[in-house]
Chains A and B, each alone.
Chain A
Amino acid sequence: MNVFRSEGHIGRWLGSRVPGATLSVTKLCELAHAWWGDRIDPNWQPRTRGQNQAILIGLGLTDAFWNLSGADPDR
């Protein structure tokens, strides 16, 4: 999970690999705050996979790439 200067840089870095998902850093920042904002809360409780999926869906990350089904609850 990396930050690049442009699509061209991503393409060169990928080479022959299948591309994953690309987001603007503004969307990434939004995602990070929704995902990690509770991490040092002294009363933190684990989230379910469904709760995590809801965060992704709420940010418009709805395609199959972001589907957590079969994955563990937390990243």
Chain B
Amino acid sequence: MHEADVALRNLTYGLFVELGRAPTVDDLVARVGATPDEVWAGLRRLHDEHALVLQSHTRELRMANPFSAVPTAYRVFVDNRWWYANCAWDAFGVCAALHGDGRIESSCPDCGEPISVEVRDQQPDDDTLLFHCLVPAVRWWDDIVFT
């Protein structure tokens, strides 16, 4: 990964947290002084490197893992702000990335009952819950949205 792309990736993540939402191409253009096409080309390279995930049909971000740019079943409350995470792993990852305590809210995919987990000092308050990862590690990126 070229240094310029790493810098664009780090700017994208920084803006995600600063803005509380996924930055647009225009947001990034305003910060880097490049053209929209140049910024988009950089984001495409980062997508191909799996440093972030773009939407398939629009010039928008889908994931800046662990953050999701779109609503999901995993909501995380950290530092007085709600975030969407891409999955259960990423939900705990939002607390980790933000280095904060938080609350994860979701529902059991089987029965639909609400699930709420508090994370304090990197520990969940309910160890009876179970995490299930269906896709083996070697195939995570075959279809990252499904994973």
Contacts of A67 in B (CB 8 A): 136-138
Asked whether any CB of chain A lies closer than 8 Å to the CB of B140, the reply is yes
B10 at interface, CB cutoff 8 A: yes
A43 lies within 8 A of B87 (CB)? no
Q: Which among B49, B87, B134 is the interface contact of A17 at CB below 8 angstroms? A: B134
Which residues of A (5-30) have their CB < 8 Å from a CB of B? 5-7, 9-10, 12-14, 17, 19-30
A residues in contact with B122, CB < 8 Å: 29-30, 33
In the complex, number of A-B residue pairs with CB atoms less than 8 Å apart: 188
**In the complex, which residue of chain A has the Cβ closest to the Cβ of B144?**
A75
Q: How many residues of A contact B (CB 8 A)?
A: 52
Contact A3 B115 (CB under 8 A): yes
Given A3-B88, A4-B110, A4-B129, do A40 and B123 touch, yes or no (CB 8 Å)? no
- B137 CB contact (under 8 Å) in A9, A10, A30, A71: A71
Contact A73 B50 (CB under 8 A): yes
Interface of B is mostly: mixed
Among B10, B89, B93, B138, point to the contact of A68 (Cβ < 8 A): B138
* B108 A39 Cβ-Cβ under 8 A: no
Asked if A29 and B119 make an inter-chain contact with CB atoms under 8 angstroms apart, the answer reads yes
Q: Is the CB of A32 within 8 A of B130?
A: no
Instruction: Enumerate chain A residues within 8 angstroms of B98, measured Cβ to Cβ.
Output: 40
Q: Which residues of B contact A40 (CB under 8 A)?
A: 13-14, 16-17, 97-98
Contact B1 A4 (CB under 8 A): no
> 8 Å CB contacts to A: which residues of B7-31?
9-10, 13-14, 16-17
B81 interface contact, C-beta 8 A: no
Q: B-side interface residues toward A, CB under 8 Å? A: 1, 6, 9-10, 13-14, 16-17, 49-51, 65-66, 87-99, 104, 106, 108-111, 113, 115, 117, 119, 122-124, 126-141, 147
A-B pairs with beta carbons under 8 Å apart, 23 shown: A2-B132, A3-B132, A4-B108, A4-B131, A10-B130, A14-B134, A20-B133, A26-B127, A32-B90, A32-B95, A33-B122, A35-B89, A35-B96, A36-B94, A39-B65, A39-B93, A40-B13, A40-B97, A41-B10, A68-B138, A71-B137, A71-B139, A72-B141
